[in-house]
Amino acid sequence: MKIILKDPLDMHLHLRDGEMLKITAPLSAKYFSGALIMPNLIPPVTSIEQVESYKKRILQAIGENVFKPYMTLFFKDSYSYEFLKEAKKHITAIKLYPAGITTNSEGGVSKIDSFSLKEVLEAMSELEIPLCVHGESEGFVMDRESEFLSVYEELAREFPKLKIIMEHITTKDAVNLLEKYENLYATITLHHLYITLDDVAGGLLRPHLFCKPIAKRPEDRMALRKAAFSAHPKVMFGSDSAPHPVSKKESLGCAAGVFTAPIALQALCDLFEKADVLDNLQKFVSDNAKNIYSLTPPKKEVVLVKEEYEVEERFGDVVPMFSKEKIGWRVESVL
């Protein structure tokens, strides 16, 4: 059995910077046609100069791979209309982080509501700049996404022309919310399609599966799978692949993040094939994102075959999901 995926896109990707960027960028660029690059570096990407500089470093790191980094800005409530108008030429979206809610988000927004952010969100609406949101409250860890859904509703209602992407959704309630507002969309990760909290902490703690938002209940995973498997037109693949060195994962104060970029397409093929919906994978990993973001990525065809593939133990100093395990599909060639 064989499948050809055309122009696969990863619409939520962390490449980091420095030496880590040199490891991660080629791994994504090898198999993906493009990716939406997250801006939560240290310091965060908040200026056009920083966007262009980071983009240049990414392009240098990918070598000869055909790959387009779709750049983002780290949301600030001080952005002016004039700044955003100029920034639009250099970015695909703006990413909003609640302050301190995840990795390198200390400079995020402390108060998220339609009144406090009105000026920036109205400008983004007029300029047609999508808003990507890490949607979690500061409540009990299992309830953070559900508690944030009312914020999504307020923003969607008050700014109906603003395209809002609920990033890495993990709950059935978030899936259901897609049907309520025309301007709400979502990304779903590989790891949230595979695991629940039981896989992370039900037995011995598995630090390389620890992520934020945290994996939820079986019924939530079922809802995510239903949306992805049916190629729901408002849902697209975003890996949220988040590399950390072993010293940060296998330690006190384990860093949140699952590294999936180099094995994402293989694992998705395995999952979709077992659900007998392999024909819908193209929409989930490319076509829906093209439609939602109006993208024309570089042409790339990834040929995968149903043959066993053993995942590498490490990529540099980063341990991937399924390290040393076997996946039922492998990449045969990239055209």
Query: Annotated active-site positions, please?
Result: 240
The residue ranges of DSSP E strands in the chain, in sequence order, are: 2-6, 9-13, 34-37, 68-70, 72-74, 93-96, 131-133, 164-166, 184-188, 235-237, 301-305, 309-310, 326-327, 330-334
Rounded distance, CA 37 to CA 248, Å?
A: 22
Rounded distance, CA 32 to CA 262, Å?
A: 10
Residue 191: Cβ within 10 Å count: 27
Residue carrying structure tokens 């240290």: 42
Bond from prior residue into 43 cis (ω within 30 degrees of 0): yes
Alpha carbon 78 to chain centroid, angstroms? 25
Q: What is the DSSP string of 109-136?
A: BS--STTTTHHHHHHHHHHT--EEE---
The pair phi, psi for residue 19, each rounded to 5°, is -65, -35
Bond from prior residue into 213 cis (ω within 30 degrees of 0): yes
How many CA atoms lie within 13 Å of 22's alpha carbon, on the beta-carbon side? 4
Residue 252: Cβ within 10 Å count: 4
Strands 34-37 and 9-13: parallel
112 with 96: CB under 8 angstroms?
yes
